[in-house]
Homo-oligomer: A and B are copies of this chain.
Amino acid sequence: MFDLEKIYSKNASNMRKSVIRELLKLTQQPDIISFAGGLPAPETFPVEDLRQAADRVFTNSPMKALQYGTTEGDAELKAELIKFEQRQGMKLGADNLLIVSASQQALDMMPKIFLDPGDYVIAGRPTYVGTIQAIQSYQGKILGIPFSPENDGFDLVELEKRYERARRDGRRIKYIYVIPDFQNPSGICWSLAKRKALLEFAYRENLLIVEDAPYREIRFIGEHIPSLYLLDQAGEDRGIVINLKTFSKILIPGARVGWIIARPEIIGKLVIAKQAMDLCTNVFTQCWLAEYLKTGKIYEVIEKTCGLYRDKRNHMVKMFEKHMPKRWDLTWTEPEGGLFLWISLPKYIDTDQMIHKAVAEKVAYVVGSAFYFDQPEHNAMRINFSYSSMGKIEEGVKRLAKVITAEIDAHEAGPRGQTSVEGV
């Protein structure tokens, strides 16, 4: 057989395997406590209501649900989603919506329709690994912007500085990618002031904003802050925000259904792209979710999920306070929503190295370096609090604290001590 590497496209050669999905395989041994995944808590899945909704599809509209559907998405599901979004103040028509095979497909479509090889996207440092992968698979690049020390959004001084430098260097920047609500991986939620400032920046520089909002409804502390999409719509209404939503975190991920909200011209282009990608999203599932949404019970599920995650997040933070070494250079975010904490460790700890020790102690996390397009930080990790039970959270944090403490002790004992720990 000839050399496949010579046949692959540059896109393919540029693709990077998902560290997370590889880690997930590693951590599927039952005795490992894994804080690595991004899995919602299965106890929030409304199994019986979903079963009944599916059954109604088989009774009422099987021939529609089992047949091909339109690329734009099922009209009934879209009508239900318009009602859902209206509760947060968004005004949408059917031509503002495209049903997609969950957020990751939307994240793949953005570089597909906007990026030529070498083009740039502005995004956080760190940012969601699936976004990095999608951009890389089209040979796009990321201009990374660090977050402010207040954890309220981008560091705006850095944004201006890095943007200016990139422009001076002739970089083509196509859009800004942000997760304003409880960012993956950091848990950071953007303040209203920072949201407005980002919108102004985008207006001034003629940039689109891709607002990825899978965790938006999963706020368990504090008040909702308007989305960038709504701020634009209720303000200058320039239509520069593309909003990405999904059922994965607010209902079930196994349905693989999400929706893109944008101005009709952009939706139109995305429809053409999607025709060539998969013709249409799973039709049966669209009908099924439309049936489920008609019951109005999703709001109860979201409320229950928020309550559960609040308890888990509080428990995890408490366990961190109880078990972790107390040091100025060991910190964690305390998010008001979402599924993740972000832990920053002393500079000399390399979480890429430490993961093997953690797995040996039967606890897993995602290495922080996975969330950087370039020049990764190595002294951080992402921790999921939604999936594990309360008991496992305590035990897992204990194990993690033990591993981290050993790293710190080894370092402080000097080279000899460090060698000894490594050698054991």
Contacts and interface: CB of A to CB of B under 8 A. Distances in A.
A213 B12 CA distance: 24
A251 to B, nearest CB: 9
A115 B9 contact: yes
Interface string A48-67: 00110011001000110111
A102 interface: yes
A8 B67 contact: no
A9 B62 contact: no
Interface of A: 1-2, 4, 7-12, 15-18, 21, 25, 37-40, 42, 45, 47, 50-51, 54-55, 58, 62-63, 65-71, 101-102, 104-105, 107-108, 111-116, 119, 130, 133-134, 136-138, 174-175, 206, 208, 238-240, 248, 252-256, 263, 265-266, 269, 272-273, 275-285
B66 A102 contact: no
B255 A114 contact: no
A300 to B, nearest CB: 17
Given A55-B51, A254-B67, A10 B116 contact: yes
B67 A253 contact: yes
B206 A2 contact: yes
A119 B58 CA distance: 45
B105 A272 contact: no
Q: How many copies does the complex hold?
A: 2
Contact of A4 (B71, B266, B280): B266
A176 B406 CA distance: 57
Contacts of A285: 282, 284-285
Contacts of A21: 70-71, 275, 279
A58 B51 contact: yes
Contact of A255 (B9, B138, B284): B284
A47 B68 contact: no
Contacts of A101: 101, 256, 278, 282
A204 to B, nearest CB: 12
Nearest to A208: B7
A36 B112 CA distance: 29
Nearest to A265: B4
A55 B254 CA distance: 16
13 contacts: A9-B114, A37-B68, A39-B67, A42-B66, A45-B67, A47-B62, A51-B58, A66-B253, A68-B253, A101-B256, A252-B284, A255-B283, A256-B278
